[in-house]
Each structure stands twice: as C-alpha cells, then as structure tokens.
C-alpha cells in the first residue's frame, strides 16, 4: 500500500499497465520487455494476468522473469482472481507473494471472507471483485439479495469490513468501467478504498464517466487498467503516457459527482 501511494504521488499517475501477453514466444518475450521498459515511467502499477502466462509453455518462469524486470518501486498486482477455501488460498498466496514476488493480488470473494484472509499479509494489497467489467447474459452480481441490495453491494461491503478488520493489509475493490452508475454507488459505499478499474479501451468503458463516478474526493483512489490498449499500441510508452495525461487532465478540471 505504501509502495502504491508513494508511486502514485511521485509520478502523479493512476495508470495500471496490464500485461496480458499474446503471440508466439519470440514476440511475447520481445514485447514484454518493450512494454515494461517503455511504460515504467508512467506506470503506477503493473498487472500481469496469470492466465496469459499459464497458457504458455514455461509460463510461470516467464512471469517470474517479467516481475523481476519490473523496477522494484512499482507495485505488481498479480491478477489471478483467486478464490478458494483458506487452506488452498494459502497456497495461492505463497505462489503469488513468495514465488512470483507480487505486491498485490486480485481475489474472487464469492466463497466468503476466508478466501481473502490468506492474502492479507502485512504490507500486501488485495483487490476483491465487486463489480466486474463484463456484461454477462447470465450473471450473479446484479442479483438482488433478500436483504441489503445486490450481490455486488455485498461484495463491496465485505471488502470494506475486511479492510477495517485486517489492519496489516489493505483491501481494495475491482470495479469495472462498464457501468458508471454502479461505480458511483460503490464509491459511496466505500469512500476511502482503492478501486482497480479494468474495462477502459478494448472493452469500451467510458474513461471520463468512470473517473467522474469513481475518483475519491481527493482526486485519487482509482487505478485505471489498460491491457490490450497498451500491448497492441504501436508505441506502448506513448499509449501509457496518453492515458495518464487524459486521466490527469480530468482530475484537474472536474470534481467527482458523488462529492
Ligand atoms: O480483475 C481484473 O483485472 C479484471 C476484472 C474485470 O472485471 N474485468 C477485467 O477485464 N479484468 C482484467 O483486466 C484486463 C482487461 O484487459 P483489456 O480489456 O485488454 O484492457 C484483463 O486482464 C482482464 O482479465
């Protein structure tokens, strides 16, 4: 958490560079190197998606190598959307933190609070799925519960309660950019927490509407992820810088609409 705060303040950036490598081995190795090198000066964080590494031969070794190449002052969020009972989650936590060297993870909380606890090590950060960016035909998150709003409201509340309880670690939320109205609602429910926000770019999320909806009153508290938008760009550094500038331009001229 401290690493993220220092990074965000030093760079004045809320950009999270997603690493979802695709292509043949030679392309992936070259492009990972380029993306990390070119975007480092704009990246508040990097988010390698575990699936894109596991699907390759020697993918774990490639992931380890990639994370080692990321400058140590930049937080690494391992996006594994882990979510299993605590004894199994403990193994995932060892993988993410001890083997890969991540600073943070994404977790799917739908099996309950014990899926989150093993990841809440001192100084680490957990982003727990609250409202995802996809628009499924058959999804659970919008379903109403008999009491207390929707399932995503429950997930946000759980993340907030766990953040208050687990003082040694920081619990944030994953909130997709596809529904700004939901982003506002979750920001009102969780005014202080960090939101990791995917869904800008390739998934068509509206950057301005998302910023207006989700920025905290201090103009921070969001990490805006772009994966394909940066990976596929002719110049990854330019794409990351432009995203940073668009975000910062918005931060200086507008106050969030829940303030
Ligand atoms: O947890 C995530 O990062 C995530 C949550 C979510 O709701 N939606 C979502 O797209 N993601 C991830 O964010 C990245 C989005 O990639 P792009 O759409 O290419 O920017 C992928 O790695 C997704 O797995």
Q: Measured on CA atoms in the order 169, 170, 176, 177, is the torsion positive or negative? A: negative
| Strand partners for 225 | 16
pLDDT for 254: 67
Determine, yes or no, domain membership for 42: yes
Radius of gyration over alpha carbons of the chain, in Å? 17
| Interface ipTM | 0.99
Kindly state if the Cβ of 182 falls inside 6 Å of ligand 1: no
Distance 2 CA to ligand 1 centre (A): 24
- Measured from the Cβ of residue 36, the count of other Cβ atoms closer than 10 Å reads 21
pLDDT for 256: 65
Query: pTM score, two decimals?
Result: 0.97
Mean pLDDT by groups of 10 residues along the chain of 259 residues: 96 98 98 98 98 98 98 98 98 98 98 97 98 90 87 96 96 97 97 97 95 96 98 98 97 69
Q: Cα dihedral angle (64, 69, 75, 81), rounded to 10 degrees?
A: -30
Kindly state if the Cβ of 132 falls inside 6 Å of ligand 1: yes
Q: Which atom of ligand 1 is nearest to the CA of 175?
A: 7
CATH of the domain at 238: 3.20.20.70
Which one is catalytic: 3, 47, 65, 81? 81
Buried b (16+ CB within 10 A) or exposed e, 78-87: bbbbbbbeee
Task: Give the closest residue to 236 by CA, choosing from 67, 41, 34.
Answer: 34
pLDDT for 181: 96
Distance 85 CA to ligand 1 centre (A): 23
How many domains does the structure of the chain reveal? 1
pLDDT for 148: 79
Work out the burial of residue 164: count CB atoms within 10 Å of its CB; fewer than 13 is exposed, 13-18 middle, 19 or more buried: exposed
Round to whole Å and give the CA distance between 79 and 70.
16
- Measured from the Cβ of residue 189, the count of other Cβ atoms closer than 10 Å reads 17
Q: Which ranges of the chain does DSSP label H, i.e. alpha helix?
A: 2-11, 25-39, 50-54, 59-69, 86-93, 151-165, 180-189, 207-214, 228-231, 236-253
Choose the residue to mutate in 140, 183, 225 for probing ligand 1, maximizing ligand atoms within 8 Å of C-beta.
225
Q: Measured on CA atoms in the order 222, 100, 50, 35, is the torsion positive or negative? A: positive
φ, ψ for residue 184 (rounded to 5)?
-60, -45
Determine, yes or no, domain membership for 222: yes
Determine, yes or no, domain membership for 258: no
Instruction: For residue 244, give its domain range.
Output: 2-253
> Is 131 tagged catalytic?
no
Of all protein residues, the one whose alpha carbon is nearest to atom 7 of ligand 1 is: 132
Distance 19 CA to ligand 1 centre (A): 10
Q: Are 110 and 141 in contact (CB under 8 A)?
A: no
pLDDT for 258: 63
Determine, yes or no, domain membership for 259: no
């Amino acid at each position: 958490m401290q690493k993220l705060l220092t990074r965000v303040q030093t760079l004045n950036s809320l950009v999270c560079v997603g690493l979802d490598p695709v292509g043949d081995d030679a392309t992936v190795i070259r492009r990972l190197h380029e993306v990390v090198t070119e975007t480092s000066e704009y990246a508040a964080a990097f988010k390698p998606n575990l699936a894109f590494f596991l699907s390759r031969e020697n993918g774990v070794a490639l992931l380890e190598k990639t994370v080692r190449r990321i400058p140590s002052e930049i937080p690494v969020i391992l996006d594994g959307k882990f979510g299993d009972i605590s004894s199994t989650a403990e193994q995932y936590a060892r993988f993410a933190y001890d083997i890969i060297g991540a600073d943070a993870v994404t977790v799917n909380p739908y099996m309950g609070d014990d899926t989150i606890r093993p990841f809440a090590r001192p100084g680490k950060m957990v982003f727990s799925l609250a409202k995802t960016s996809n628009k499924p035909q058959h999804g659970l998150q919008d379903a109403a519960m008999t009491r207390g709003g929707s399932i995503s409201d429950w997930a946000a509340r759980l993340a907030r309660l766990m953040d208050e309880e687990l003082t040694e670690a920081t619990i944030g939320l994953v909130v997709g950019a596809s529904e700004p109205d939901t982003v506002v609602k979750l920001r009102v429910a969780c005014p202080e927490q960090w939101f990791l926000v995917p869904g800008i770019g390739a998934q068509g999320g509206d950057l301005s509407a998302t910023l207006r909806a989700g920025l905290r009153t201090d103009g921070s508290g969001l990490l805006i992820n772009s994966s394909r938008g940066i990976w596929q760009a002719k110049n990854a550094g330019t794409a990351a810088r432009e995203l940073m500038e668009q975000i910062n331009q918005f931060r200086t001229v507008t106050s969030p609409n829940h303030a």
